[in-house]
Structure 1
Amino acid sequence: MPESPEVQALAEEVGARLAGRSFADADVLEFRVQKTRARPLSSLVGERVDRVERHGKLLDVAFANGAHLVVSLGRHGWARWGGADAPESTDASEKTDASETTGALEPASAPTAPDPAEPPPPALAALTFDDGSTLELTDAGGWVSLGCWVVDDPHDVPAVAKLGPDPADPAYDRDDFDRAFGTRRKQVKAVLQEQESIAGIGNAYSDEILHAARVSPVVHAAALDDDERDRLFAATVEVVREAIAARRGIRIADLKAAKVAAMRVHGRAGDACPRCGDEIRDFTFASTTAQYSPTCQTGGEVLPLRDGGD
């Protein structure tokens, strides 16, 4: 699932290329991606792009007439340049959810090389602009998770309206963090991924944050002591902001591979923890696979493979 650092880099590249350009054509190959049927993507033809922004994990293409094209990339969605700018080989970074991470620490390995036998994910919509640029919106999943809305205000999109404070925002502070966690009897990994509480973090970055903070993914927020809360707040801000800085300037075809390469624990089950040397372990959390270091995070306890995620 794309998370805030990669979506921020995507927004910056798309904005730098398309700001000032007019929308020339919309080719929607999968009707289910259009969530505002009364205002299809084609209703924006002729309008000029003003800027491109990010809200949590969502992309917002703002037009000069006040309209917004909001794109939710869902679990397996991404974007790529098409037409003459189409990549020569498959973007291997399109293929993963279980192997993504970053953090306040250095990358663990180089990006995985593309597999030429793996077909590229299908483009469900292609957006063409007056300079010939084509932005393809893809979805590599078995079900359509990509979604597009044409609205007057991005907050008209429910997923944007519900977003909590974003740790990438310079104004994000300890009060925002404490409101999210409070004394809730909910596992901290679940709180980190709860978009209403903290915007932009998913499975990969929550693993990285918890590892950096040396906090168990299954401990309840109410059970955190003051030192653990301090470490978790610091890690939340540092991991997200440093990942955004690290992704900046990487072309969008390479962003997901760069994310995979930067992971310290997420997607690295069986490897040695880069801090303590213990074996990184898997556990299942809310229908996804997550990773942690027993020595660093759970006092040596190996978590059951399957967890309820409460």
Structure 2
Amino acid sequence: MPELPEVAAIAEFLDDRASGFPVRRVDVASLAVLKTADPPYVSLTDRVVESVGRIGKYLIIRTTPGTSGGDGEPMIILVIHLSRAGWVRWSDQLSQTPPRPGGKGPIALRVHCGLPGEGFDVTEAGTQKRLAVWIVRDVEDVDRIASLGPDVMSLSRDDFGKMLGETSARIKNVLTDQRVMAGIGNAYSDEILHTAQLSPFATAKSLSPEQIDTLYAAMHSVLTDATARLEGREVARLKSEKRTGLRVHARTGLPCPVCGDTIREVSFADRSFQYCPTCQTGGKVLADRRMSRLLK
């Protein structure tokens, strides 16, 4: 799942290539991804991309009428949530043939923008289709954005500590709950907790002030370092670049780069997370719930 560093890098990449240029056309291959009908997606045609940014893990593409016409609305915004398996694929020679609606391919949306012939596809792999697109006049018209917590990078230490002190939820769940704070997902929460040497099952309310200080610092350092590492990278290279920077996430069975212990995994439902027993749980191996159910 693209998280704050990847979404920030994608936004920067698209902003560099699309801002100041018109949206020549939008092709929708999967009507299911569109969560709004007014304004219609065709209203983006001939509008100029003002900027591309992010809110939490949402891509925000702002467009204005420009000087060449287009819809007269002062602002129409294309909002994209890549969810778990979505991605953006830029092309300097984007196919002019619209993708087949309802086709079996991964393309959900195609946006012709940038220099002539350029543009990008929004794709989604797998069978669980969760990618979502909104076309709105105000980002607050997107219910999911309106319900987001503060951006994780904007949180002060005091606000962060107060937030943790008000919940008995497990810290892993607090970090990834977008209603609490926006931007962190499964991968970077694993990295943050490993850096802070905290168990994913530790409860937020139980953390000492010193542990909160450490967690806050880890949160900022992990996200800042990842964002800096991805800055300026081609979109096509972001996934592989992300993997090279991970120390525990998706490294089950490999040695911890800090202590050498074996990275372990806990699985539940259709998700899993990774941790180091020596660094995070005092050597205790956490029960894998999926395996425990199988053994009953």
Runs (4 or more) in structure 1 with deviation over 3 Å come to: none
- Same amino acid, percent of matched pairs: 42
CA distance, structure 2, for counterparts of residue 59 and residue 25 of structure 1: 19
Query: Which deviations, in whole Å up to 9, do the C-alpha atoms of 1:55-106 show, x marking residues without a partner?
Result: 00000000123111100111110101136268xxxxxxxxxxxxxxxxxxxx
Unpaired runs of 5+ residues, structure 2, are 65-73, 96-103, 291-296
Unpaired runs of 5+ residues, structure 1, are 87-119
Q: Which residue of 2 aligns with 1:257?
A: 240
**Residue from 273, 279, 284 that aligns with 1:290:** 273
**Residue from 232, 241, 266 that aligns with 2:215:** 232
Residues 150, 137 of structure 1: alpha-carbon distance in 2 compared, 3 angstrom cutoff: same
Q: Which residue of 2 aligns with 1:195?
A: 178
Q: Which residue of 2 aligns with 1:27?
A: 27
1:1-310 matched pairs, under 5 angstroms = 1-64=1-64, 65-82=74-91, 84=93, 122-129=106-113, 131-169=116-154, 172-285=155-268, 287-306=270-289
CA distance, structure 2, for counterparts of residue 202 and residue 160 of structure 1: 16
CA distance, structure 1, for counterparts of residue 166 and residue 258 of structure 2: 30
8 A contact 1:21–1:131 mirrored in 2? no
How many pairs were matched up? 272
Please tell me whether Structure 1 or Structure 2 has the larger radius of gyration of its CA atoms.
2
Q: Which amino acid aligns with 1:269?
A: T
Q: Which residue of 2 aligns with 1:104?
A: none
8 A contact 2:199–2:281 mirrored in 1? yes
C-alpha displacement of 1:160: 1.3
CA distance, structure 1, for counterparts of residue 268 and residue 202 of structure 2: 13
TM score, norm. by length of structure 1: 0.84
8 A contact 2:94–2:120 mirrored in 1? no
CA distance, structure 1, for counterparts of residue 40 and residue 158 of structure 2: 40
8 A contact 1:126–1:134 mirrored in 2? yes
Across the aligned residues of Structure 1 and Structure 2, the Cα RMSD in angstroms comes to 1.7
C-alpha displacement of 1:285: 4.6
Using CA pairs under 8 Å that are at least 6 residues apart, name the structure with larger relative contact order, 1 or 2: 1
Say which SS state the counterpart of residue 153 (structure 2) adopts: coil
